[in-house]
């Protein structure tokens, strides 16, 4: 990552995650690499591991909520629309309980995510 060989770095972190699945320390850099390369759904899945290891990680909660919001705006679901909404509610609640500094923005994202969609999310 330091040499900005992001594609190669992503491959290394993916392999590390497969090799040591119980070690979530590889998940955050992999999530960031996925997000940088436009793979937001994969970024969310990686960040789920980070949050699973530390449910009060406000930075991980915030980023994941932002990515869920952006994906929904683009008509994309990570799991399903209903599952993504439940995940967002859980993460927004955790963010609030941890006194995250950007609570008003997180609340606006959640309000948007809770709006019914007229077209199906892919």
Where helices occur in the chain by DSSP H, the ranges are 6-19, 27-36, 40-53, 58-73, 81-97, 103-114
How far is residue 13's CA from residue 118's CA, in Å, rounded to a whole number?
Answer: 38
| Residues in CB range of 120: below 8 A, 6 or more apart | 81
Q: Per the domain annotation, does 47 fall within a domain? A: yes
Model confidence at 1: pLDDT above 50 = no
Q: Per the domain annotation, does 83 fall within a domain? A: yes
Model confidence at 8: pLDDT above 80 = no
pLDDT digits (tens, 9 = 90+) for 60-116: 999 999 999 999 999 999 999 999 999 999 999 999 999 999 999 999 999 999 998
Q: Per the domain annotation, does 95 fall within a domain? A: yes
Q: Per the structure, how many domains does the chain have?
A: 1
Q: Which domain holds residue 22?
A: 6-114
Q: Per the domain annotation, does 32 fall within a domain? A: yes
Q: Per the domain annotation, does 84 fall within a domain? A: yes
Model confidence at 4: pLDDT above 80 = no
The whole-model pTM stands at: 0.85
Q: Per the domain annotation, does 17 fall within a domain? A: yes
Residue 10, domain CATH: 1.25.40.10
pLDDT digits (tens, 9 = 90+) for 17-72: 778 877 888 889 889 988 988 899 999 999 999 999 999 999 999 999 999 999 99
Q: Per the domain annotation, does 1 fall within a domain? A: no
Q: Per the domain annotation, does 119 fall within a domain? A: no
């Amino acid at each position: 990552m330091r040499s900005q060989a992001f594609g190669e770095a992503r491959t290394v972190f993916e392999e590390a995650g497969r090799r040591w699945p119980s070690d979530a320390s590889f998940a955050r850099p992999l999530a960031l690499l996925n997000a940088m390369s436009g793979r937001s759904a994969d970024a969310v899945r990686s960040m789920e591991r980070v949050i699973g290891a530390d449910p009060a990680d406000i930075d991980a909660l915030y980023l994941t909520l932002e990515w869920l919001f952006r994906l929904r705006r683009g008509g994309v679901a990570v799991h399903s629309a209903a599952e993504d909404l439940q995940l967002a509610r859980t993460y927004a609640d955790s963010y609030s309980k941890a006194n995250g500094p950007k609570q008003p923005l997180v609340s606006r994202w959640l309000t948007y995510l809770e709006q019914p969609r007229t077209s199906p999310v892919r």
